[in-house]
Structure 1
Amino acid sequence: MSTDTRTQPDAPEPAGAASAQTAPAVSAIAEALTSGTRPARPTPLSTSLTFGWRSLLKIKHLPEQLFDVTVFPVMMTLLFTYLFGGALEGSVQAYIAFLAPGVLVQSVLFITMYTGTTLRTDIDRGVFDRFRSLPIWRPSALVGMLLGDAVRFAVASGITAAVCLAIGWRPGGGVIGVLAGIGLVLVFAFGLGWIWTFLSMILRTPGAIMGVASFVLMPLLFGSNIFVDPSTMPGWLQAWVEVNPVSHLVTAVRELMDGLPTGPEVAWSLMWSAGLVAVFGSLTMWRYRDPS
């Protein structure tokens, strides 16, 4: 006589028993979610600063991003000072007094184009698709990126000023005048950066952005009063220099750094900055909301 030793399957638990076991777990989760104070909705300022900090953290992992704000300003300052100084003013020391504010403007504005290339790279990686889905102020990702770049531009300004001082520049406005001039340059660079952010929304590659940005910056920087007095230029070029926003900026920075009475160029520079933000900031956000 054989005995069946196979193990019989356990009988299913009653539905009521399963519900009784899960009820405490659901209650614990609900209590954990409702017991604490709900965090406040992030403000536009806080989210913009967070994205600005994110922009600066990239330097930790890609320190070569500091190349354009360290080596480039030094190279541009030394190159133009010793290339044109003797021919235009007779000596480097005499020319650096005229060139220093202008070459500082040139160094900062020229590296603003990298704002667009960096943004285009993030867009290609799909990072901004996630940012669009977050419950935050929509422009904060772009504003924060520009604020982070402003720190890099401040580094470039400080290095350029230090090189000019080492060569022999002695600004009549002192430290306050130099800081005021740098502040005005950073405000204008923030406005100019919105052009490159808009280009990053409509152009497909970082190389294309660099090409268009260089095409735009060349007449603005070299067709200005950075390197020579406009009175030595032909009449048609003088007409362009007079309406060039970079010329207004350079004149305003010279007045501030040299301790001279400020004229309307400071107001013109601020109005140009506000106009760039209003026009290209609006176009950028329109494209950002509807990238298709």
Structure 2
Amino acid sequence: MLQMKTNTQVLRNSLTLTHRNLLKTLHNPDNVSDVLVQPIIFTLLFGYLFGGVIAGSVHAYLPMLVSGILVQSILNAASGSGQQLREDINQGIFDRFKTLPIAPIAPLAGQLVGDSLRLLLSGGMAMVTAALMGWRPTVNFGALMMALFLAVFIGWSTSWIFALVGLLVKNAELISSLSMIIILVLTFLSNAFIPVKTLPHFLQTIVRINPVTTTITAIRGILNTGHWSETATMVVVSGAVIILVFMPLTVMAYQRHD
């Protein structure tokens, strides 16, 4: 009975702090930009600037672009985990949480649960923007949700890495800059925006071993065929491995800081 009461308290405290983190996102222009504005800007920018050059028209380019923008947007949103954690620590917010009668793990849990909702919103915004530009998926709604949730899952698993970085690196601006550079390199050195066969051979090798390429290939396959693939299963397994490795490391770093 006591264990059930404790679990209920942890859940209630975590959901309360999830609500707090979502409100913080909405009231912070930088966070709103990562979650809502960037998917719109990049979809419009790449679609209208490069659609004609790469695919002959914007409409023909959108099926390729959607999966790339979806993954890029979700990774951008996931990178905010580390920055937000570090900002709360540097501003003394976590020290104030320690004085409250809440579960000790609740602040970290609230951040990561809130991340999953932010990722879902960011991915949905990318899809809606593409639809307004003329993208008409050939698969059913279930396949669209399958692709979206696969992207959100891999983004959420990656957010554990960024959360660990946020707990270890003391400068929030440095975390933001490094995250942006890493994400830009990984997405541009992938099949997100261009056909891999157009690249020089040495770059093709780099692109094919890039995990972002594998993720985009899995999502693109679902959006094109409506079916789950072995590549999609590989992405899920990879995400699960990331969680199994980085979740305990993040919790340990958080408890040590606590």
Same fold (TM over 0.5): yes
> Residue 114 of structure 2 corresponds to which residue in structure 1?
148
Q: Distance in 2 between matches of 1:130 and 1:63?
A: 20
> Does structure 1 retain, via aligned residues, the 8 Å contact 2:160–2:250?
yes
Give the one of 195, 210, 214 matched to 2:161.
195
Q: Distance in 2 between matches of 1:252 and 1:93?
A: 21
Q: How many residues are treated as equivalent by the alignment?
A: 254
1:250, CA displacement in angstroms?
Answer: 0.9
Matched, 1:91 2:64: no
Q: Distance in 1 between matches of 2:231 and 2:74?
A: 19
SS of 2:5's partner is: coil
RMSD: 2.4
> Does structure 1 retain, via aligned residues, the 8 Å contact 2:115–2:159?
no
Change in 2 beyond 3 A, CA 1:187/1:233:
same
- Summarize the alignment of residues 48-63 of structure 1 with structure 2, pairs less than 5 Å apart: 48-59=14-25, 62=27
Q: Distance in 1 between matches of 2:54 and 2:116?
A: 33
Q: Distance in 1 between matches of 2:104 and 2:46?
A: 42
Give the one of 236, 239, 242 matched to 1:273.
239
1:127, CA displacement in angstroms?
Answer: 2.4
> Residue 5 of structure 2 corresponds to which residue in structure 1?
40
1:49, CA displacement in angstroms?
Answer: 2.5
Q: TM-score, normalised by structure 1?
A: 0.79
1:59, CA displacement in angstroms?
Answer: 4.5
1:195, CA displacement in angstroms?
Answer: 1.4
SS of 1:224's partner is: coil
Q: Distance in 1 between matches of 2:104 and 2:209?
A: 34
Q: Distance in 1 between matches of 2:206 and 2:98?
A: 41
Q: Distance in 2 between matches of 1:143 and 1:221?
A: 28
- Summarize the alignment of residues 202-221 of structure 1 with structure 2, pairs less than 5 Å apart: 202-221=168-187
> Does structure 2 retain, via aligned residues, the 8 Å contact 1:171–1:259?
no
Change in 2 beyond 3 A, CA 1:286/1:133:
farther
> Residue 11 of structure 1 corresponds to which residue in structure 2?
none
- Summarize the alignment of residues 170-181 of structure 1 with structure 2, pairs less than 5 Å apart: 170-181=136-147
Q: Distance in 2 between matches of 1:139 and 1:189?
A: 21
Structure 2: runs of 5 or more not aligned: none
Change in 2 beyond 3 A, CA 1:253/1:137:
farther
> Does structure 2 retain, via aligned residues, the 8 Å contact 1:177–1:258?
no
Structure 1: runs of 5 or more not aligned: 1-36
> Residue 33 of structure 1 corresponds to which residue in structure 2?
none
Higher fraction of helix: 2
Percent identity over paired residues = 33
- Summarize the alignment of residues 4-15 of structure 1 with structure 2, pairs less than 5 Å apart: none
Matched, 1:117 2:117: no
> Residue 148 of structure 2 corresponds to which residue in structure 1?
182
Q: Distance in 2 between matches of 1:269 and 1:177?
A: 16
1:134, CA displacement in angstroms?
Answer: 6.5
